[in-house]
Amino acid sequence: MKRLLRRIFPIGLAILLLLYALKDTSLASIGDQFRKADYRWLLLVAFQIGLYTVVRAARWRLTLQALGYQPSLVRTTIAILAGTLASLIIPGAGELTRCGTLQRTDDIPLAQGFGSVVAERVIDLLMLGLLVGLTILVEFKRVGVYFSDLLTPLLARLAPNQPLAPLFLTAVLAGLLLLGFVGWFVQTKGFRQHTLVRKLMTIGREIGRGFMSIQRLRQPGWFVCLTVVSYVLIYLANYTLFAASTQTVTLPPAAALSVMAASSLGGLAVPTQGGVGTYHFLVSRVLMLYGMPEAESVAKATFMHAVQTGFALLLSSISFLIVPILIRQKARRLHEHSA
């Protein structure tokens, strides 16, 4: 029952956010976005998304090489594409899927592969912090207005006519007490000797080994370079999407930075299938800060999300056709080696 609820909740949340974002937007206005778009720019977006995937694969390959494995760039790219499709279906499933794919094609242990992905995610969190900081620095006034417009109505509904400081302090205190109880319970002897816990600790050590691969990188400078390039490509994809429409072609470069920061934070705070609902709501509010009417902002956000998701889905679908071929090639190599 709990597993079913965990799967249904993100879907329900995505639907609610999407309906809320689209409540004042007609399907005709969304259709106009596609009819009037300059598809030459969309082809460039497709190229940027494809190149972004290859860059991410090259970066992940560096962490796997630090563990002593040598997957090819092609197989690593296919694994990431398979994970992308899985994450569009179930939030968080992408990481396990891409690690499982490389386990089948290159015999890389799932736990170690997942640990290397965790290491990447830590770096991505640091990059997200830098991205948000840069956005605040460049668009300080707009960022303040954005969060004020976003949070004030929500807090007013949760606690009408109540001062916010006592509520915040109470929440912090309750959180600290809960963390203290969990910490005490984890240290008890019975908990640590439980069979399931011991298995989880073994898996945790394997994940830890993969995570520490970040310290054994043979080319740390190349890793940093690939990380920066991947974020630049995503920024360029967002800015190129602006160029594809007459409504957004005049928006400043900083607007693409704001969209990138808002969508990244939204995906982290409210993970839904492929960002459905979350992206539409947050990005439309960003576009409104740059003078676009609400209905047009929602239609544009829907268009941008559909284009990016569509290209990612197309590339990821191809990967599932290639994975069985890679597995057969691996079996053939093993057979020839044993013979």
Q: Comparing C-alpha atoms, which of 311, 250, 267 is closest to residue 48?
A: 311
Confidence at residue 238, expressed as pLDDT on a 0 to 100 scale:
94
The number of residues in the chain equals 339
- Mean pLDDT value of segment 177-189: 66
When pLDDT is averaged across residues 97-104 and rounded to a whole number, the result is 91
Q: Among residues 76, 81, 60, which one has the least CA distance to residue 210?
A: 60
Helix (H) or strand (E) holding 9: helix 2-21
Distances (CA, A) of 77 to 157, 233, 297: 46, 16, 34
Q: Which residue has the tokens 């689209």?
A: 22
Reply yes or no on whether the pLDDT at 22 is more than 90: no
C-alpha–C-alpha distance, residues 39 and 241, integer Å:
10
pTM: 0.77
Q: Which residues contact 83 (CB under 8 A, 6 or more apart)?
A: 93, 94, 95, 96, 97, 98, 99, 101
pLDDT at 166: 62
Residue 339 above 80 pLDDT? no
Neighbour count for residue 235 (Cβ, 10 Å): 18
Is the predicted pLDDT of residue 227 greater than 90, yes or no? yes
- Are 327 and 104 spatial neighbours (Cβ–Cβ below 8 Å)? yes
Tally Cβ neighbours within 10 Å of residue 247: 19
pLDDT value of position 164? 52
For residue 68, the 8-state DSSP code is T
Mean pLDDT of the 37-60 span = 95
Give residue 320's pLDDT band: very low, low, confident or very high (50, 70, 90).
confident
CB 93 within 8 A of CB 274: no
